[in-house]
Amino acid sequence: MIYPIYLYGEDVLRKKAEEIKDFNDSNLHVLIDDMFETMNISDGVGLAAPQIGISKQIITIQLPIPSYGVKKYVFINPKILKEFGQYVTIEEGCLSLPDIHGNVKRRDAIELEWYGKSGKFYRQFYSGILSRILQHEIDHLNGILMIDKFESEDKLLNFMKLEKIKDKKVETKYPVK
């Protein structure tokens, strides 16, 4: 099932998402499949459950890997233990903020703890693109949006667009709410 993407202005994007406790719940696995399906039609590389109106700590990511295909990742109850490495500024976008782009400064690397979809516990270091996407998506689980991290110039540049999104006067290639 394809969910509509909740846009900037919807309360669920500003709430702290709840932890997953029951990994045997079949609804959880259906939801994860639906998140990938929703990401596919919206051309996103990362999706956090609050972006489809579900305030739970689930992140799906899919990345094209040369000579491999598309690699899929699921992160449940992710927690950043440490951020380190150099600060990198990269232009980000977000399905909940269509047509908005701005520079966001983040550390290059993180040490992450999370659960897989069957409840297996993991701890690992990430850097580069995957670390970047993870930090953006984990922000979603805490009610933080990339615009909160824009420098004042980018905030100003995107101000009118943000108002339009709030008024739902925005066109997207994917269903929205």
Write out the catalytic residue numbers.
137
Stretch that binds Co ion, among 32-40, 90-98, 100-108, 154-162 (CB under 5 A): 90-98
Stretch that binds Co ion, among 1-9, 19-27, 86-94, 153-161 (CB under 5 A): 86-94
* Separation CA 44–CA 38 (nearest Å): 9
- The torsion angle over the Cα atoms of residues 69, 70, 76 and 79, rounded to 10 degrees, is 80
Q: Does 138 bind Co ion (CB under 5 A)?
A: no
Q: Does 31 bind Co ion (CB under 5 A)?
A: no
Instruction: Please say which residue, 94 or 130, places its beta carbon nearer to Co ion.
Output: 94
Q: What DSSP state is assigned to residue 174? A: S
Stretch that binds Co ion, among 30-38, 53-61, 92-100, 162-170 (CB under 5 A): 92-100
Token match 């380190």: residue?
84
Q: Please, what is the minimum distance in Å from the beta carbon of residue 83 to Co ion?
A: 18
Sites for Co ion among residues 49-68 (CB under 5 A):
none
Backbone angles phi, psi at 98, to 5 degrees: -60, 140
Among 52, 94, 134, 141, binds Co ion (CB under 5 A): 94
Q: Please, what is the minimum distance in Å from the beta carbon of residue 72 to Co ion?
A: 18
In angstroms, the Cα distances linking 164 to 6, 52, 98, 103, 132 are 14, 20, 10, 20, 27
Closest CB to Co ion: residue number: 94
Sequence-distant (≥ 6) Cβ neighbours of residue 33 within 8 angstroms: none
Given the rule CB under 5 A, which residues bind Co ion?
A: 94
